[in-house]
Amino acid sequence: MAETSSLAETYFERYREIIPSYEEFLRALSQPLPLYFRLNTLKLRDPERVIKGLGRQGFQVRPVETIPWFFQVEPREVSLGNTDEYYLGLIYPMTLSSALPVYALDPQPGELILDLCAAPGSKTTQIAQWTEDQAVIVANDKRLDRITALVANLRRLGVACVATTVYRGEQFPLGINFDKVLVDAPCSGEGRYRKGYEGELLFQKEGHTNLPAIQKGLIVRAYDLLKPGGILVYSTCTVNPEENEAVVDYLLRKRQAEVLAWDPPLPSHAGLTEWEGRPFHPDLTKARRFYAHEIQAVGFFVAKLRRTA
Amino acid sequence: MKKERKKMDPRATWPRPVTEEERAQILQYLEERFGFSPALFEPYEFLSTAKNYWLFAHTPHREALARVLRVQTAGLLFLRKVSGYLKPTTAALQRFGRLATRNVLDLDRFTLDRLRLEKKIPFTAELETGYVILRCEGDIWGCALYLPGKLISYLP
CB A88 within 8 A of CB B98: no
Q: Does B155 touch chain A (CB under 8 A)?
A: no
Q: What is the pLDDT of residues A252-279, one digit of tens each?
A: 999 999 999 999 999 999 999 999 999 9
User: Which residues contact residue A133 at a Cβ distance below 8 angstroms, ignoring those fewer than 6 apart?
Assistant: A42, A159, A160, A161, B43, B57
Residue to substitute from A46, A124, A133, interface B, most B β-carbons within 10 A: A133
Q: What is the pLDDT of residue A260?
A: 98
Q: What is the pLDDT of residues A26-54, one digit of tens each?
A: 999 888 889 999 999 999 999 999 999 99
In the predicted structure, residue B8 carries a pLDDT above the cut 70: no
First-last CA distance in chain B: 35
Q: What is the pLDDT of residue B139?
A: 96
Q: What is the pLDDT of residues A172-184, one digit of tens each?
A: 999 999 999 999 9
Q: What is the pLDDT of residue A1?
A: 38
Q: Decide if B61 and A159 are in contact by the 8 Å CB cutoff.
A: no
Q: What is the pLDDT of residue A113?
A: 98
In angstroms, what CA-CA distances link A186 with A7, A144, B4? Answer: 23, 16, 21
User: Which residues contact residue A158 at a Cβ distance below 8 angstroms, ignoring those fewer than 6 apart?
Assistant: A40, A42, A43, A89, B76, B91, B92, B94, B95, B96
Q: Does B65 touch chain A (CB under 8 A)?
A: yes
DSSP letters spanning A140-197: E-S-HHHHHHHHHHHHHHT--SEEEE---GGGPPP---EEEEEEE-----GGG-EE-T
In the predicted structure, residue A110 carries a pLDDT above the cut 80: yes
In the residue annotation, A161 being an active-site residue is answered as no
CB A102 within 8 A of CB A130: yes
Q: What is the pLDDT of residues A147-181, one digit of tens each?
A: 999 999 999 999 999 999 999 999 999 999 999 99
Q: What is the pLDDT of residue A2?
A: 42
Q: What is the pLDDT of residue B13?
A: 72
Q: What is the pLDDT of residue A8?
A: 85
Q: Decide if B57 and A136 are in contact by the 8 Å CB cutoff.
A: yes
ipTM: 0.92
pLDDT level of residue A208 (50, 70, 90 thresholds): low
pLDDT (mean) for A114-141: 97
Q: Does B3 touch chain A (CB under 8 A)?
A: no
Alpha carbon distance B101, B104 (integer Å): 7
